[in-house]
Amino acid sequence: MQLTFWQKARYWVLLLIIALITVAFHPIIIDTGKEAGLESGNILSPYIVMVFLLLFVMCFNIKDILKNKVIRVSLFIVLFIFVYYMFTRAAFGKRSMMGDLRSIGICLVGMMIGWQMNLDETRYKVALLLFAGLISLMGFFQVTMHVGGFEILDQSQVEGKNSMGVLLATSSVIYLFFGLNVKSKPIVKVLFFALMVFVVVILLTIRARAATLTSAILILFVLYQRFKGKNFFFYLIIGLFLMVVAYLVIPESAKQYVVNSFVQNQEADITSSRMSRNRAGLSFISDHPLFGNLNVDAEMDWIHNYPLLKLFQYGFVFAFPIMMLYLYLLFYSVVKTSICNNRNNYNIGYFALLVPFVVSMAEPTLPFGPGTATLFNFILFGMATRNTYNEKYCLTSTE
């Protein structure tokens, strides 16, 4: 189908935002921001915001956007959160929930953009491969320039490794889907699987442990879905046999590499004190269940678990709408990944959204941020819901 100038422009702006989000993790850009004294974000942040807003304006069509049930429900809950913010500001003098509104709003706009893009298969694949390729390259640059090579250091030298870990884990899922679904010569499939393994090695090297585990979980989940059925036990036996052979063949140094990524210099506490902070948070919540820290002002180390952190900050009463959105999107993604056809690359978006949600069990700001770190995941999610809508009503992609 012939594209209009407006559709072409929107597509190129989408590719630009993908490039900016990924290239922002280049070591030189990160170091330049640190030298300039930036406390948050980096030197590309203003440009990312401008291009993001431009793309949203170019995609804005409220009548079409509201066809998406997930967006309608999410918008309603976000309005609910805004009302709660006004209450917390009036009753407790706290503005902390404004940060949640901002980060959730960015992700909601990402869903809207993904829904509106309605890409055809070729342009969709280009967007996916641009994202996966650029973030893989940025990961390689981080390893060579900040880590000094493929070795496990006592302390990670990669700035924003957890945010970058989400993007890398997402790219591993993309490579897996392409490896399984590409209709080409076997060497192309092998290439995609090799890129997936390469990304996992980068995750191990920068010591983004939660993202590494998330990547492994989703890879196994997708493989289980692909090979389940009447021949599942045959494939399971073959898979277990190959795993045993691989374990025997892989050099001891490679196995130790994986172990060191998780435990090196962490003899006292493999979780880097996360569990102790989470236990302290649980204890605080049990003592102040209704309003959390809104009327106490307790000082506590950063809780590395998103649901626990929200309950600590706002209590059950005021964390309710945030947790309602969190659980709604999580449940929706789990259901969709359980029933969708993983031979359809458009459904990558459902699996991509699970990445920041799984990592949020060990991080404080995910899945809604930090900043635009999870924006592409929500854009892909919007694209997945659009494809499901198109299939339901026998429509076709327009761009």
Q: Which residue has the higher pLDDT, 152 or 366?
A: 366
What tokens does 125 get?
């694949």
- Name 231's Cβ contacts closer than 8 Å, sequence gap at least 6: none
Q: Most confidently modeled of 12-16, 41-45, 98-102?
A: 12-16
**CA-to-CA distance for 45 and 127, rounded, in angstroms?**
21
pLDDT band of residue 277 (cuts 50, 70, 90) is confident
What one-character DSSP code corresponds to residue 365? S
Is residue 105 within 8 Å of residue 78, measured between CB atoms?
yes
**What residue segments make up the domains of the chain, in order of their start?**
5-392
What pLDDT, in 10s, does the model give residues 323-342? 999 999 999 999 999 998 88
Q: How distant is the alpha carbon of residue 3 from its chain centre?
A: 30
Q: Would the pLDDT of 120 be above 80?
A: yes
Q: Would the pLDDT of 34 be above 70?
A: yes
**CA-to-CA distance for 52 and 371, rounded, in angstroms?**
12
What pLDDT, in 10s, does the model give residues 284-306? 888 888 888 888 887 877 888 99
CA 217 to each of CA 282, 286, 296, 375, 376: distance values in angstroms, whole numbers, following the listed order: 26, 31, 38, 21, 20
**CA-to-CA distance for 378 and 52, rounded, in angstroms?**
13
Where does residue 64 rank: exposed (0-12), middle (13-18), buried (19+ CB within 10 A)?
A: middle
**CA-to-CA distance for 325 and 81, rounded, in angstroms?**
9
What pLDDT, in 10s, does the model give residues 311-321? 999 999 999 99
Is residue 324 within 8 Å of residue 316, measured between CB atoms?
no
- With vertex at residue 152, the alpha carbon angle to CA 150 and CA 153, rounded to the nearest 5 degrees, is 120
State residue 203's pLDDT score: 94
**CA-to-CA distance for 247 and 62, rounded, in angstroms?**
54
For the entire predicted model, the pTM comes to 0.93
Q: Would the pLDDT of 351 be above 90?
A: yes
State residue 122's pLDDT score: 92
Q: How distant is the alpha carbon of residue 394 from its chain centre?
A: 30
**CA-to-CA distance for 70 and 174, rounded, in angstroms?**
23
What tokens does 367 get?
């899945």
State residue 1's pLDDT score: 55
Q: Measure the N-to-C terminal CA separation of the chain; round to a whole number of Å.
A: 8
Is residue 370 within 8 Å of residue 103, measured between CB atoms?
yes
